[in-house]
């Protein structure tokens, strides 16, 4: 979770209301990211691919393996289905 110090008024331009598989969520847009990360508590268990995982290079230099999940993400009229390309954090 980010602390208040990590957020400023310019950060709001990257925050959007949307849905993940129909559940309302606040979405942080990261235009430089190769993967879409979704919190585990926003993904229905049956949507998680138990055998698939992707490596994610973290800011501190470690590479972590995260399972993938197929979810539908909507922001306004924009819709994206991950089709196994996203991952979720535990």
Strands lying side by side in the sheet with 37-39: 37-39, 87-89, 63-69, 48-57
Q: What is the pLDDT of residue 7?
A: 52
Mean pLDDT (10-residue bins), the chain, 90 residues? 52 83 88 79 88 86 90 88 56
For the chain, state the CA radius of gyration.
14
Q: Which H helix or E strand runs over 65?
A: strand 63-69
Q: Which pLDDT score, from 0 to 100, does residue 8 have?
A: 57
Token output for 85? 């390309």
């Amino acid at each position: 979770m980010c602390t208040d110090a990590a957020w400023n008024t310019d950060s709001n331009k990257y925050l959007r209301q949307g849905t993940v598989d129909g559940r309302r969520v606040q979405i942080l847009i990261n235009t430089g990211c190769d993967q879409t990360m979704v919190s585990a508590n926003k993904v229905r268990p049956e949507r998680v691919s138990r055998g698939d995982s992707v490596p994610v290079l973290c800011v501190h230099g470690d590479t972590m393996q995260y399972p993938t999940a197929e979810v539908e993400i909507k922001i306004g009229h924009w819709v994206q289905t991950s089709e196994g390309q996203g991952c979720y954090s535990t």
